[in-house]
Amino acid sequence: MKEKTYVITGASSGIGEALAMTYATRGQNLVLAARSESELDRVRAACERAGGHVLTVKTDVTEIDACKNLVERTIDHFGGIDVFVNNAGLSMWARFEEITDLSIFDRIMKVNYLGSVYCTHFALPHLVKSKGLLVAISSLTGKTGVPTRTGYAASKHAMQGFFDSLRIELMDKGVDVLVASPGFVDTGIRERALGPDGTPREISPRDEEKGTMTTDECNRILVDAIDRRRREVVMTSRAKMGLWLKLLAPRMVDEIAKNAVKEKR
């Protein structure tokens, strides 16, 4: 395989870490970005053992200068960008009427949506040069509303609209845009999800044994979509059926979403 440079935000755990490990085994160039230096160092060591060429850049995607620095460091080190994966994310689990800290909405929108916008802005000229691929890790909540996830769903709807629009703008530039929409994945994101007071819940509020995709399965589907430069991937057959059903029986889809996020008792 031709050596390419992959930039992955949110690379210190979950989907980002799994994706990094896959491309490390292929001997690719990797730029791993996240807020935790210690976790980045752990993933870097594992990727280097697997055969990857790795640069880590501590990055808070809510800061414009940090996103600019990430891209500049990448170009200085590897000379270009072939694939940029916007994966950094923050979740929530709280009914809107129970929320006491409205800053949750600002924080989630800055990480999930604006962080992707900032990174994409600085990476885009280099992706145009390489005729590369932009990847947005969205969610099924970017397709339909889900209770307890109002702020999260809003940020993922924003991502979907941004990248769908950008894809059309780039049609004649040779840059492809992939929006990936996983469902529940066992990444630990729900343990870190913000509760009604704005602090992490620490314990997942849902039964993780029901309807949860493994990180490995999610990664397999995502890697296939990246390698094939697909425009979109919805990761479960149930979700695909739900999108069609939403057109025909939207109230039924609301009931399904309601039952899917019932908390453990």
- Domain residue spans of the chain: 5-236
In 3D, which of 163, 170, 75 has the Cα closest to residue 126? 75
State whether the Cα torsion 69-3-22-177 is positive or negative: positive
What whole-number distance in Å separates Cα of residue 144 and Cα of residue 122?
30
Give start and end residues of each alpha helix (H) in the chain.
Answer: 14-25, 37-50, 64-78, 103-108, 115-130, 150-169, 215-227, 237-248, 250-260
Distance of CA 22 to the CA centre of its chain: 16
Whether the Cβ atoms of residue 30 and residue 24 lie closer than 8 Å to each other? yes
Q: Is the pTM of this model over 0.75?
A: yes
Mean pLDDT of the chain: 90
Q: What is the DSSP string of 184-217?
A: SBSSSTTTS-B-TTSSB-SS-SB-TTSS-B-HHH
What whole-number distance in Å separates Cα of residue 151 and Cα of residue 107?
9
The residue-averaged pLDDT of 126-155 equals 94
Whether the Cβ atoms of residue 126 and residue 7 lie closer than 8 Å to each other? no
What whole-number distance in Å separates Cα of residue 137 and Cα of residue 150?
18
Q: Residue 185 — very low, low, confident or very high, per pLDDT cuts 50/70/90?
A: confident
Distances (CA, A) of 224 to 31, 53, 176, 193: 20, 21, 15, 28
If one counts every other C-beta atom within 10 angstroms of the C-beta of residue 259, the result is: 9
Whether the Cβ atoms of residue 19 and residue 135 lie closer than 8 Å to each other? no
Please tell me the predicted confidence (pLDDT) of residue 208. Answer: 45
**Which among 6, 23, 118, 152 is annotated as catalytic?**
152
Which are the contacts of 165, defined by CB distance < 8 A and separation ≥ 6? none
The residue-averaged pLDDT of 10-14 equals 95
- pLDDT reading at 264 higher than 50: no
Q: pLDDT per residue over 221-258, tens digit each?
A: 999 999 999 999 998 767 677 676 677 777 777 777 77
Question: Which option is the CATH number for 5-236: 2.60.120.380, 3.30.70.141, 3.50.50.60, 3.40.50.720?
Answer: 3.40.50.720
- pLDDT reading at 136 higher than 80: yes
Enter the DSSP assignment of 91: -
Q: Residue 23 — very low, low, confident or very high, per pLDDT cuts 50/70/90?
A: very high
Asked if 152 is an active-site residue, the reply is yes
Please tell me the predicted confidence (pLDDT) of residue 265. Answer: 35
